Every structure is written in structure tokens, then in C-alpha cells.
Amino acid sequence: MRQTQITALVSLPILLGVSWAVSAQDFSDGPTIRMLEDRLEQDDVAFNATVDRTPDDDLLEVGRLVAMGGAENGGSGMACITCHGVDGHGDGSGAFPRLDGQPGWYLDKQLVDYTSGARPNQVMSAIAERLTEYEMEAVSAYYGAMPTGTIPKHGDVEGTRLQWGGQLAAVGSAEKGIPACVNCHGPSGTGLAPSVPYLAGQYASYMALQLELWKEGVRDNDAMNVMSSIARKMDESDMDAVAEYYARVTRDGAAIDPDMAVTE
């Protein structure tokens, strides 16, 4: 049953992934989205989530309660909304990632990874460890089912930096061996459910930090080292540029507004 469900979940991205793989460039010798998804299909140990694509109302209600701080082993500091917001948008500071509309399967995997130590984080590991497996699933489905709202406000950024970020996203860098992000994160950064998160409209400082953590080997939860091998080829300004770029991409795929936040 579990295997069937996982197979059903990954078959769609495989189909979609093929068309991107032929259209987008890949300068790296890293795994393709297809290889990644094939692995997910085989590996139901590391990927033991059973988040349904269309969660039922009971699951969503449990998820809502957990988000409000009502987990069984709840208590102070357990309410997700305190940091991630009632609407899943975080608090605007960029310290807390947006969760709204992120694939439930991906979110659930992160919670499991926080408990296993594959993605150690002082705050989130302590919280995730107090959730039951069912509560992780429920709260992930709850945030995953939320409509994605408008993108957060941004500070200024240099036009040339934004341009470099856009180039890394769309075509990568042959010189540095960095693959185009769109290969896996989708043509406009909207992600690829169930396993690839959206980047469009996510906080820049959060995304840059994750790339840095992968480079340092602290976050070590990516299948086939897909993200760590990419992050190791990036310097701090590459990370910054691509993160600032994606933070400004609107979710409907419209181009970013070049006048929005560009300085000298």
C-alpha cells in the first residue's frame, strides 16, 4: 500500500521532469531530477512519508491544531504559528521559512530529518522530536494545502547581482559546473511536488543560509547529495545572488519587476 502510494506520488514529476531535462542546461555531472525521483521510488526507508496529495478533513484538522500548539506533547514553544505565521508566511524577518503551499511530502520529510539529525537545527529539532509521526504528517499536509500568498517585502539589491542570480537559476554556470536550478525547481521556481520545494517567493536570507549549511555539510539530508554538490561549487556571492533573485520571482511565473528593488 505504502509502495503504491509512493509510486503514484512520484510518477507525475518524472513525466514533467523529462521535458525540463531536455530544455534546460546541465553543466554539472550531478544527478538529474529523473535519477532523484527514481531513487525516491526505491527508497521508502529514508522517505517514509505518507502525506496524501488530497488530505482528508480529519488530517487537516489535526494539522491545524498542531500548528496552533495543540500537539499531544505540546507545551510552550510548540505553536508553529508563533514563528511561521498563521498564514505560513513567517514573520517577515526571513529567519523563518515560508511553509504555505510547500509540498506536504517535502515538509514531512524535513520534520523527519530534523529528528534524525540529517538536518540538525537547535530550534526545529527540539520541536520535531516532540511530534508524533501522525502529527508531523498532519501539520505538513495542513501547511501544504494552504494557498500560497503574496511574496514578502524585500530590501534593495544591485541590478547586476539580480541578473547573475537569474542567470544561475535559468542556465547555471558552465565555468563553475553549476546546473540550472530550473532543471529541478521548475521553470519559475514553483517546485515539483512531492520532493522539490518551491524557491519563488521564499526568503532570500533563509535560502542563502541553507545553501551555506549544505556547503558546510551541516544540512545533509539531500538525496544523492544533489544540493550539497551544487552548493560546494558556489561562493557566497553566488548564493546570495540566486537567493535574492528567487525571493523576487512571483509564483505565477511572471518576470520579476526590475524596478522593484534595484540600486546602483
Name the site residues for ligand HEC (rule: CB under 6 A).
31-33, 36, 66, 77-78, 80, 82-84, 95-97, 99, 102, 107, 109-111, 119, 121, 123-124, 127, 139, 168, 178-179, 181, 183-185, 195-197, 199, 202, 207, 209-211, 221-222, 226-227, 230, 242
218 near 211, Cβ under 8 Å?
A: no
CB-neighbour burial class of residue 75 (10 A; exposed 0-12, middle 13-18, buried 19+): exposed
Measured between alpha carbons, how far apart are the two ends of the chain, in Å?
57
Q: What is the rounded CA–CA span in Å between residue 122 and residue 134?
A: 22
The residue among 145, 142, 143, 139 whose CA lies nearest residue 72 is: 139
Q: Count of alpha carbons within 13 Å of 56, Cβ hemisphere only?
A: 2
CB of 225: closest distance to ligand HEC in angstroms?
10
CB of 22: closest distance to ligand HEC in angstroms?
14
Task: Select 203 or 261, whichever has its Cβ closest to ligand HEC.
Answer: 203
**Amino acid letter for position 189:** G
CB of 90: closest distance to ligand HEC in angstroms?
9
Task: Select 12 or 264, whichever has its Cβ closest to ligand HEC.
Answer: 12
Task: Select 128 or 261, whichever has its Cβ closest to ligand HEC.
Answer: 128
CB of 227: closest distance to ligand HEC in angstroms?
5
The three three-digit cell numbers of residue 177, written as one number: 559546473
Task: Select 188 or 195, whichever has its Cβ closest to ligand HEC.
Answer: 195
CB of 262: closest distance to ligand HEC in angstroms?
20
